[in-house]
Structure 1
């Protein structure tokens, strides 16, 4: 009889703990639904309103690109050689070129110079292209930490950012408030 009583008490404790966790989970789900919270997206790109910090990079024609070249509306794309999502984004951009000036920053692969050259040639139809190495200061200037990244800028301020063209469905290109 003691064994049966112990088993019933143990089952009751486990059920009670499970019930408490279930109520806590339901409360959290309701809280998220009420506040419209969603998981953060595009945490590897700067938020609109971010001011691009000073940078200098040489494009494939030997000309220097700096933050001063971001006057007016300019789109900046960050791509990496061998990156599948980068290939898909670059294909979409070449198919439907953006209206604004476009600058491509390519993280080249020294072990694959042919692949780097192919990506540079493909992006060259969009505008200026610069090839950088790992941890180049231009990535820090734009606050980009992963590839691909696509930024709309206006006079050196990020107005929209994302990693897919869909992220720009509502982008107007108007200057955002400076953060």
Structure 2
């Protein structure tokens, strides 16, 4: 019986400090995770602070749009015909349009009916321009995937995302 008591006492002396150390480490890791809890950033999205490079687009009404037209707060949406997430996003935007001016850029063939349907849908948001999928305007904005939403102010990207919720509480920089 005394041998058993000695073994239990030795195990208690060894195990208890290790359990306390484990609880302390878990607590510290959780605290650090809350401090650095930053949502993962999609590497295909332009970074806030990026300057929009020179570009020129002609919208469906024949009006030319350039980087000089991005002086105030402007949302720019990039959509591709045949893209399921693009249809979902455009539906959400039409249901709850942004307050800022909106420019839609649709990648597709102007002769196709699907492009016409997408243009008609996003036309309710503001200006619409149709481009090829390899148009230089994509590089000017730093767009690598569809759909992409940008909030710009003064020709600078202030926010980017692929859902309207990414733009909640977006403040425009003071010019």
Show CA shifts across 1:128-169 (max 9, x none): 000000211000000000000001111101111100111112
The correspondence of residues 7-26 of structure 1 with structure 2, limited to 5 A, is none
Residue 76 (structure 2) aligns with: 76
User: Does 2:112 match 1:113?
Assistant: yes
Residue 63 (structure 2) aligns with: 63
CA distance in 1, matches of 2:39, 2:166: 15
The correspondence of residues 1-179 of structure 1 with structure 2, limited to 5 A, is 30=29, 33=33, 36=36, 40-109=40-109, 113-172=112-171, 174-175=172-173
Runs of 5+ consecutive residues of structure 1 not aligned to the other structure: 1-25
CA distance in 1, matches of 2:48, 2:58: 26
Runs of 5+ consecutive residues of structure 2 not aligned to the other structure: 1-24
Number of corresponding residues: 150
Give the TM-score taking structure 2 as reference length.
0.77
Secondary structure at the counterpart of residue 145 of structure 2 = coil
Show CA shifts across 1:6-46 (max 9, x none): xxxxxxxxxxxxxxxxxxxx9xxx59837626673222121
CA distance in 2, matches of 1:35, 1:80: 38
CA distance in 1, matches of 2:174, 2:141: 15
